[in-house]
Amino acid sequence: MGIAGAKTLRSIRSVRDADVAGKHVLVRADLNVPLENGEVSDDTRIRAALPTLRLLHENGARRITVCSHLGRPKGPDPAYAIAPVAARLHQLLDEPVDVLENTRFDPGETRNDPEFARCLADGCDLFVQDAFGSVHRAHASTVGVAKILPAYAGLLLERELEGLGALLRPEVARPYVVVVGGAKVGDKAGVVRELGRRADTVLAGGKLAEELRVARPAGVTLMLPVDVLAVERFDEASEPHVFEADDVPYGWAIVDIGPETRRRFANVLRSAGTIFWNGPVGVFEWPSCREGTRAVAEAVAASDAYSVVGGGDSLHALSLFGLTDRVSFASTGGGAALELLEGKELPGIAAIPSE
């Protein structure tokens, strides 16, 4: 097991054991949620942050300040202001809490700038890391503040490590099926290589499937779409047409897996013993292109497998289809979950001392 197994799954210092009475606590939460028309459209990640905040209140914290990023702005941008997210948090928590502005409005955030970290930590007595979805980033709000204040793991972070850690155990139930998709390809091919060596089958959709069609990773049992939905122009108003995967017209955009692929993927998932799903297999935000992701979600939900679903888009899809409570574990982290399972060190967790 790589350093993620040895380091990330070690016993780290927990907020349960922190003396917070009379203290000002800085909490790094993951409030990176989708917005529509200036309002939160899916509050799953906000709800996931509540147990830690309530514990701090119950244990007598004098003041709680929450920080988070929202989207990927390059600087101050009203479209990514934290206000609607903070408003939803206040509605759900019903306890006093301060919410700082979007951390990515400051260029020092992504540079892990010590000065910005000091600004975040100013006046606080200790730091609680509860943003699993961001711990794979060495940013000021995930790593920098942990070097200034005594750092502890929040309840969500602990739960994430336990839920995902089950996939790293050698006795994982078979067949072990991994489903990967999403619009963010990045280095997911490397993740597929690592996970695929442990899994029995990898089902790939979205943009990643096209990349893997060209460069198939060795030693991985890979199932790619045999048919797809494609549109002439990448526009929601464009009508999708079904094509065999190798016969999509030049210049057309693939927006979903096709009906035969849905059937094949669902059959594999129904017989699985363990499932890890990260990333929708189509542009599920468009009603005309969500049947592939719906088929995957329903097959995962119907399976008797230990099922882990990770990433904001996948969680949004589960919520959209009313299936969130039908999976074994819903992880708030997409990239973080992938890197953990790939065996990488996660900087935001490495910064938390052992018990």
- With a CB cutoff of 8 Å and minimum separation 6, the contacts of 36 are none
Q: Which amino acid is at 221?
A: T
Do the Cβ atoms of 313 and 283 come closer than 8 Å? Answer: no
Check 111, 184, 193, 198 and give the catalytic one: 184
For residue 18, which of 55, 49, 47, 70 has the smallest C-alpha distance? 55
Check 206, 334, 335, 348 and give the catalytic one: 335
Helices vs. strands in the chain: H and E counts, helices first: 12, 16
Active site residue 45: yes
Task: Quote the CA–CA distance of 157 and 352 in Å, as a whole number.
Answer: 11
Active site residue 71: no
Burial class of residue 58, CB neighbours in 10 A (0-12, 13-18, 19+): exposed
Active site residue 219: no
- With a CB cutoff of 8 Å and minimum separation 6, the contacts of 27 are 49, 52, 53, 56, 64, 65, 66, 67, 127, 128, 130, 154
Active site residue 7: no
Check 23, 45, 137, 159 and give the catalytic one: 45
- For residue 191, give Cα distances in angstroms to 70, 194, 322, 337: 25, 5, 29, 10
Check 181, 312, 334, 348 and give the catalytic one: 312
- Tell me how crowded residue 217 is: count the other CB atoms within 10 A of its CB: 17
Q: CA torsion sign, 233 to 228 to 311 to 180? A: negative
Query: Which runs of consecutive H residues, i.e. helices, occur in 43-199?
Result: 44-58, 83-93, 114-121, 155-165, 188-198
Backbone angles phi, psi at 42, to 5 degrees: -150, 115
Catalytic residue positions, numbered: 45, 184, 312, 335
